[in-house]
């Protein structure tokens, strides 16, 4: 099956870059779906899955001949989801909480289109190194972490926050290619794509 027009229902430049890096050039059309937590969102996983599915569905209604990708990333410390910081002060506090600890990153991905609906999630463990207060302050002042869940970008090489990564690296960036390829395969679209820096990925897929 040939690939129809591809819509990315997300304004994340990192997700668009990941797709473009393997030759999948999406039309970027953020869905505008609200991201607040509902009582039915019993865990970070179910919350992320719901948001990814809703984002894809909203965009599909406006682009019925396309296949749409929705995604949502959660950073979870113990059982607490850590979202995007609302201020520099919150970003500093979050990074101080994360240093010298292992946390989980969950990214849910959903495909939606005339061929059907598929979704799943990927799980990665990340241990943040012993960040110093001064380098945290300088990193936050750079503005780089202010649009990122957990207040850091794994790909920010100068800051280099991660000490150990177990699972899919691109999951932490915001879009696990290994999972995305699985979902396309379920849709009948074969992609000859490998997920870079991916070790022992933990992915779960389902039919919506």
pLDDT of residue 34: 67
pLDDT of residue 2: 61
The single residue of 41, 72, 147, 156 carrying the catalytic annotation is 72
Measured in degrees and rounded to the nearest 5, phi and psi for residue 126 equal -130, 130
The number of CA neighbours under 13 Å toward the Cβ of 13 is 5
Does 32 map to a domain? yes
Other CB atoms within a 10 A radius of the CB of residue 100 amount to 12
Does 16 map to a domain? yes
Does 43 map to a domain? yes
Rounded Cα distance between 57 and 28, Å, is 15
Tens digit of pLDDT per residue, the chain (208 long)? 567 789 999 888 999 999 999 889 999 988 777 677 777 778 888 899 999 999 999 888 877 788 999 999 999 999 999 988 999 999 999 999 999 999 999 999 999 987 789 999 999 999 999 999 999 999 999 999 999 999 999 999 999 999 999 999 999 999 999 999 999 988 888 888 888 778 777 888 875 5
52: domain CATH number is: 3.90.950.10
> Does the annotation mark 112 as catalytic?
no
Token pair in block for residue 114 = 């005339």
Does 1 map to a domain? no
pTM above 0.85, yes or no: yes
Does 160 map to a domain? yes
pLDDT of residue 26: 92
Does 151 map to a domain? yes
Instruction: Provide the residue range defining the domain that includes 41.
Output: 6-207
Query: Domain count of the chain?
Result: 1
């Amino acid at each position: 099956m040939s690939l129809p027009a591809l819509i990315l229902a997300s304004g994340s430049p990192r997700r668009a870059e990941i797709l473009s890096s393997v030759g999948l050039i999406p039309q970027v059309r953020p869905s505008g779906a609200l991201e607040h937590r509902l009582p039915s969102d019993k865990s970070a996983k179910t919350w992320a899955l719901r948001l990814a599915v809703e984002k894809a569905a909203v965009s599909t209604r406006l682009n019925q001949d396309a296949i749409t990708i929705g995604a949502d990333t959660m950073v979870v410390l113990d059982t607490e989801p850590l979202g995007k910081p609302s201020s520099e002060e919150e970003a500093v506090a979050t990074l101080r909480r994360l240093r010298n600890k292992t946390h989980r990153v969950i990214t849910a991905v959903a495909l939606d289109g005339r061929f059907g609906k598929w979704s799943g999630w990927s799980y990665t463990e990340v241990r943040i190194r012993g960040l110093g207060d001064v380098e945290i302050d300088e990193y936050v002042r750079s503005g780089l972490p202010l649009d990122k869940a957990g207040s850091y970008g794994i790909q920010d090489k100068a800051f280099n926050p991660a000490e150990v990564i177990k699972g899919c690296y691109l999951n932490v960036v915001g879009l696990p290619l290994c999972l995305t390829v699985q979902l396309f395969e379920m849709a009948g679209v074969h992609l000859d794509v490998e997920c870079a820096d991916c070790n022992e990925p933990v992915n779960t897929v389902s039919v919506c």
